[in-house]
A and B are shown apart, each in its own frame.
Chain A
Amino acid sequence: MQVTSSVREPLVTGGKTYHDVTHDVSRQVEGKPSIAWFLAFLTSAGVLALGFIALAATLWEGIGMWGLNKTIGWAWDITNFVWWVGIGHAGTLISAVLLLFRQKWRTSINRAAEAMTIFAVICAAMFPVIHMGRPWLGAYWALPLPNTFGSLWVNFNSPLLWDVFAISTYFSVSLVFWYIGLIPDFATIRDRATGLRKTIYGALSFGWDGAAKSWMRYESVSLILAGLATPLVLSVHTIVSFDFATSVIPGWHTTIFPPYFVAGAIFSGFAMVLTLMIITRKVFKLEDYITMGHIELMNIVIIITGSIVGIAYITEFFIAWYSGVEAEQYAFINRATGPYWWAYWSMMTCNVISPQLFWIKKIRTSIIATFILSLVVNIGMWFERFVIIVTSLHRDYLPSSWAMFYPTWADIGVYLFTFGLFFTLFFLFAKFFPVINMAEVKSVLKSSSEKVAK
């Protein structure tokens, strides 16, 4: 049965049947991995191994391996943490918020975007954990566990502790949401397989049989999880921004941070989804499922969130002037014209100017332009966090303590380690898990073109 619409842009092109959907997605899991996959996997595993040297050195010697000094106590570690958490916002946004808004185009990208979210959050969580110095004792500092001091509990007034709860809740709820969606697709692979693969995917599919009653509950669970995950995803970056906003450092102590961080998170998350999707659709020949329409819609989200971020930058600057607080005014002038001017203007160019290019239809529907701009956006977002964190700290209240931050090889190595980890996990996912949610794509295959089918 082929269905095509004359009215609406089809979500899936190429006149795919239900069986084609099953076949196109399952064959990646069933076939031998391609040379391109092996090269990509080995490269990222190599980066992981190299970065591990820096990680091991940091754990062995301590945080002194990093370029931190008494003025700049937070630098690349927290920059990388916020950057990865931000990237980890797109997945749940796509699967939860777009589900509540009944945006059917989400169906072919939500699986990979959620996987990306989970891996990005793992990478993010690495940094605060390593920064503890002795992470093997970290559970006592981060969780309210009974201890021999009385018990001396953790401080529930601290945004850093709120972060522990926010990130771990976000990670576990995203993981559950993702896995619930995977169950029916694992069942599809199980029913096509024989031997060992049948056993493995049989266990992963939790005995799913596709009964109408199970689907009814599945839909109910998805909807409630989406309803819970929507405020959750907004709360996570809000709480991350509290780490800064509740402090009294000029440049951090601003009420605009929560919405501004959330918009920035969605902005960088969509950019990372685009980077990964453009590669994935090419390598796995999924151009009929992740179409130009999907890329264009994601680019539109990037224009919107990029513009919100741009307005936030300008508002911040205005409010610093309007507040009349000299320290606050200096912090912002120093960002733009001080020793870190290059970081500030990289951020402004990459985040405010470059996404505006997507207003031009030719650029927003060009694969190459989108790919390049998606990288540019994430470079810009890294600089944003660097600017907020390092330039606010490096010239604080006491001019005799002013300093600069220079990353050491361990700073760079630990950052590389998280890149290796992220891509290694993503490539493993792309090979062994169905990268597209087959069941959900099938459910919109007909309704998105019902004018013809009836």
Chain B
Amino acid sequence: MERDKHFILGVYDDEDVLLHAVKDVRSSGVKIHEVYSPYPVHGLDEELGYKRSRLPIAAFLFGLLGTSLALTMQFYMMKFDWPMIIGGKDYAAFPDFIPVTFEMTVLLASFGMVGVFMVTSNLKPWAKPRIFDLRSTDDKHIMAIDIANNSSMEQDKIREVLRSSGASEVNDKSFDE
């Protein structure tokens, strides 16, 4: 059966070997498709040249939305829509509005950020992920090299680069899509 997507996989056993390997592989001119790990490896995103995640900005903006929604709601309901004297306080008893404002800020910041995370990382119950190697969620780090992106280089040369960078195995994997 003819398949469309062809990858060369480097399998690494150790996170420190992997970090050096990413540097070596990139400096030898091979473009890395992605690295799959069973746990977060610190510094890997920098070695791969990824830009810092902008999720904190999303969280901040959603939090700001939560703050303004909560304050608007409380001032509208308590001061304008149905003003009532409660405990001899001003209709707009601002200090009393702080707890609900805080909670709404946290709620919207969290849910907004997680929502953005789900969308950008394509996380959904019906998602069919491309699994390069089942061991990548157990104990191996898998470096995937897309052959189509490295057409200028011999495939054997790529395999040689992976092997000399410390990969314990070098495999091939193809996908239909």
A13 within 8 Å of B (CB atoms): no
A214 lies within 8 A of B137 (CB): no
Supposing A225-B110, A228-B106 touch, asked if A207 and B86 sit within 8 A by C-beta, the answer is: no
Contact A191 B78 (CB under 8 A): no
B104 & A165 in contact (Cβ 8 Å cutoff) = yes
Is A215 touching B139 in the complex (CB atoms < 8 A)?
no
Answer whether residue A27 sits at the interface, using C-beta atoms and an 8 A cutoff: no
Q: Confirm or deny: A219 has a beta carbon within 8 angstroms of a beta carbon on chain B.
A: yes
**Interface residue ranges of A134-168 to B (CB < 8 Å):** 144, 150-153, 155-157, 159, 161-162, 165-166
Q: How many residues of A contact B (CB 8 A)?
A: 66
Could you tell me if A221 and B113 are in contact, using CB atoms closer than 8 angstroms? Answer: yes
Q: Which residues of B from 7 to 62 have beta carbons under 8 Å from A?
A: 13-16, 34-41, 44-45, 48, 50, 53, 55-56, 59
B137 and A191 form a contact (CB under 8 A):
yes
Contacting residue for B122 out of A207, A210, A218, CB 8 A: A207
Closest Cβ neighbor of B44 among chain A residues? A212
Which residue of chain B has its CB nearest to the CB of A190? Answer: B137
Known: A187-B137, A213-B45, A217-B117. Is A172-B97 also a contact (CB below 8 A)?
no
Q: How far is the CB of A235 from chain B (nearest CB, A)?
A: 6
Classify the secondary structure of A's interface with B: helix
- The answer for the CA separation of A151 and B84 in the assembled complex, in Å, is 13
Taking a contact as CB atoms under 8 Å apart, the answer to whether B100 and A161 are in contact is yes
Stretch at the interface among A15-23, A313-321, A414-422: A15-23
For residue A453, which residues in chain B have a CB less than 8 angstroms away from its CB? 16
Q: Is the CB of A156 within 8 A of B53?
A: no
Q: Does A169 contact B (CB under 8 A)?
A: yes
Complex contact B53–A217 (CB within 8 A): yes
For the side of the interface on B, what is the size category? 35 or more
Residue A1, interface by CB 8 Å: yes
The reply to whether A191 and B45 contact each other, CB–CB distance below 8 Å, is: no
Does A125 belong to the interface (CB within 8 Å)? no
User: A327 within 8 Å of B by Cβ?
Assistant: no
CA separation between A159 and B73, bound complex, in Å? 17
Which of A76-84, A280-288, A369-377, A440-448 is the contact stretch?
Answer: A440-448
Judge whether A208 is part of the interface by a CB distance below 8 angstroms: yes
Distance, CA A235 to CA B107, complexed state (A): 13
| Residues of chain A from 417 to 454 with CB closer than 8 A to chain B in the complex | 438-440, 442-443, 446, 453-454
How far apart are B105's CB and chain A's nearest CB, in angstroms? 9
**Chain B residues positioned under 8 Å from A231 (CB to CB):** 102, 106
Given contacts A172-B111, A215-B40, 11 further A-B contacts (CB under 8 A): A159-B99, A166-B103, A184-B137, A206-B123, A208-B123, A215-B44, A216-B45, A225-B110, A242-B99, A438-B38, A442-B39
Which residue numbers of B lie inside 8 Å of A, CB to CB?
13-16, 34-41, 44-45, 48, 50, 53, 55-56, 59, 63, 73-74, 77-78, 81-82, 84, 86-87, 89, 93, 96-97, 99-100, 102-104, 106-107, 109-111, 113-114, 117-118, 120-131, 134-139
A-B contact pairs, 10 of them (CB 8 A): A18-B38, A152-B82, A155-B86, A191-B137, A209-B136, A213-B34, A215-B37, A216-B50, A217-B121, A232-B103
